[in-house]
């Protein structure tokens, strides 16, 4: 399978526009036309990770943490990021990152972690992210309305939740005058014309913008179809990265910590803060990776404990003052479920690809 086709399928499963603003998800290194058969999957690129991927004869690296966060001005050997990129290129491998778009995925790592903890119920705090939405508005002859709506729908417009072909239309009057080189669908070149048109509006994800515009040009009978694209408010926030999970019974603090210890590779790095020592643990909030910005939110969710990967000093102070029992296991450890999470999500949309977990 060509890399560009594989990326299209990955991005269908884990849309890049679910990522938080300025998060550099997507393809970092690679030729879109190269063939990919073996994908090595892990948390992040490192010298050890790359060595294992090379030994596995991987064509592509799929990681959680982006390697390139800032624009590069050079590729030199004495810089750790650039050195790794040079090696990836030397071995003709592609590099793709799925970061906060996976954190916010409804089947993401927090759900996997909750299952490992033995929780009986689990659900995201908010609905799945929608990503940036656009609205396309165009003007069409009445007898072409259905065919153009269908064409835009096939290209990715008009989907709202479990419904497709969603649109709004209203009749109005359009005017035009074509030059001597024009070939108007109605009327004559060089003559000011008035015609009845239907204003058609449909929503679409930003990632489908160009495919929808292309479909409009192909389906529209006019030489130059008029259209407008509006950017709608984004619906994407950290509360979508929080999961609420419950055990089937109240646990003592030691039983809870024991479950956490068994769920991660290196339990010796667990740190805990327990301002409310009387509270038994049943309902918890889970956030993988850096959980500092979620402390204020978690403190008001009525949970018995907050479990995350990383919390800063001042946020721990806030948690303590709020009476929020907090367990921190380490950023990487809380995301050690990346391969276990993303492989089942993407492999259902691919074939003839070998997915290899860092393990």
* CATH code of the domain made up of 133-231: 3.30.70.120
CATH fold group of domain 3-99+338-357: 3.40.1390
**What DSSP string runs through 207-276?**
GGHHHHHHHHHHH--SSS--EEEEEPPPB--GGGG-EEEEEEEEE-HHHHHHHHHHHSS-GGG-EEE-S-
Q: How many residues are there in the chain?
A: 359
Place of tokens 């990770």: 49
For the record, the structure tokens of 89 come out as 């290129």
Q: What is the pLDDT of residue 128?
A: 62
Examine the pLDDT at 297 and tell me if it is beyond 70.
yes
Least confident range from 10-14, 49-53, 322-326: namely 10-14
User: Of all helices (H) and strands (E), which one includes residue 285?
Assistant: strand 281-290
Q: What is the pLDDT of residue 359?
A: 72
Place of tokens 């998060």: 23
Examine the pLDDT at 71 and tell me if it is beyond 90.
no
Three-state DSSP class for 111? helix
For the record, the structure tokens of 264 come out as 């991660």
Which residues are CB-contacts of 215 (< 8 A; sequence separation ≥ 6)? 151, 152, 154, 155
- Give the residue extent of every domain in the chain: 3-99+338-357, 109-127+238-334, 133-231
Mean pLDDT of the chain: 93
Tell me whether the CATH fold assigned to 3-99+338-357 matches the one assigned to 109-127+238-334. yes
Examine the pLDDT at 191 and tell me if it is beyond 70.
yes
- Cα dist from 210 to 84, 136, 256, whole Å: 33, 11, 50
The highest-level CATH class for domain 109-127+238-334 is alpha beta
Model pLDDT for residues 84-117, shown as the tens digit of each residue: 999 999 999 999 999 999 998 888 899 999 999 9
Q: What is the pLDDT of residue 237?
A: 59
Q: 169, 198 in Cβ contact below 8 A?
A: yes
Place of tokens 């068994």: 262
The reported pTM is: 0.75
In this prediction, residues 188-200 reach a mean pLDDT of: 94
Closest CA relative to residue 259, chosen from 243, 238, 282, 237:
282
Examine the pLDDT at 235 and tell me if it is beyond 70.
no
For the record, the structure tokens of 47 come out as 């010298």
Examine the pLDDT at 181 and tell me if it is beyond 70.
yes
CA–CA gap between residue 230 and residue 228 (Å, rounded):
7
User: Of all helices (H) and strands (E), which one includes residue 327?
Assistant: strand 326-328
CA–CA gap between residue 286 and residue 242 (Å, rounded):
6
Place 129 in a pLDDT band, splitting at 50, 70 and 90. low
Residue 153's φ and ψ, nearest 5 degrees, are -65, -40
Q: What is the pLDDT of residue 22?
A: 86
Q: What is the pLDDT of residue 180?
A: 87
Closest CA relative to residue 329, chosen from 279, 281, 263, 283:
263
Handedness of CA 246, 250, 251, 257 (dihedral sign): positive
CA–CA gap between residue 216 and residue 136 (Å, rounded):
10
Model pLDDT for residues 237-289, shown as the tens digit of each residue: 567 789 999 999 999 999 999 999 999 999 999 999 999 999 999 999 999 99
Place 126 in a pLDDT band, splitting at 50, 70 and 90. confident
Examine the pLDDT at 236 and tell me if it is beyond 60.
no
CA–CA gap between residue 7 and residue 341 (Å, rounded):
17
Q: What is the pLDDT of residue 161?
A: 73
Q: 152, 216 in Cβ contact below 8 A?
A: yes
Between 145 and 163, the higher pLDDT residue: 145
Examine the pLDDT at 17 and tell me if it is beyond 60.
yes
Place 131 in a pLDDT band, splitting at 50, 70 and 90. low
């Amino acid at each position: 399978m060509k890399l560009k086709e594989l990326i299209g399928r990955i991005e269908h499963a884990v849309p890049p526009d679910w990522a938080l603003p300025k998060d550099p998800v997507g393809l970092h290194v690679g030729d879109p036309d190269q063939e990919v058969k073996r994908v090595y999957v892990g948390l992040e690129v490192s010298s050890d990770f790359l060595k294992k991927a090379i030994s596995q004869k991987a064509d592509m690296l799929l990681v959680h943490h982006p390697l390139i966060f800032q624009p590069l001005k050079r590729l030199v050997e004495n810089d750790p990021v650039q050195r790794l990129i040079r090696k990836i290129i030397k071995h003709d491998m592609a590099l793709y990152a799925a970061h906060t778009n996976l954190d916010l995925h409804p089947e993401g790592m927090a759900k996997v972690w909750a299952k490992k903890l033995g929780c009986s119920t689990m659900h995201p705090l908010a609905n799945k992210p929608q990503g940036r939405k656009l609205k396309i508005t165009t003007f069409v002859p009445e007898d072409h309305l259905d065919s153009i709506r269908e064409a835009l729908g096939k290209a990715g417009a008009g989907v709202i939740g479990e419904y497709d072909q969603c649109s709004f239309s209203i009749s109005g009057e359009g005017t035009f005058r074509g030059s001597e080189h024009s070939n108007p669908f109605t009327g004559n070149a060089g003559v000011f014309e008035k015609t009845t048109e239907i204003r058609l509006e449909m929503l679409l994800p930003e990632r489908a913008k160009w495919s929808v515009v292309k479909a409009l040009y192909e389906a529209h009978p006019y030489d130059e179809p008029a259209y407008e694209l509006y950017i709608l408010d984004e619906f994407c926030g950290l509360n979508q990265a929080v999961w609420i999970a419950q055990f089937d019974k109240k646990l003592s603090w030691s039983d809870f910590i024991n479950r956490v210890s068994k769920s991660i590779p290196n339990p010796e790095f667990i740190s805990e803060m327990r301002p409310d020592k009387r509270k038994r643990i049943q309902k918890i909030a889970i956030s993988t990776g850096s959980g500092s910005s979620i402390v204020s939110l978690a403190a008001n969710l009525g949970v018995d404990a907050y479990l995350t990967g990383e919390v800063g000093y001042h946020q721990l102070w806030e948690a303590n003052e709020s009476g929020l029992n907090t367990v921190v296991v380490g950023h990487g450890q809380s995301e050690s479920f990346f391969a276990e999470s993303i492989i089942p999500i993407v492999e259902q949309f691919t074939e003839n690809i070998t997915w290899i977990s860092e393990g």
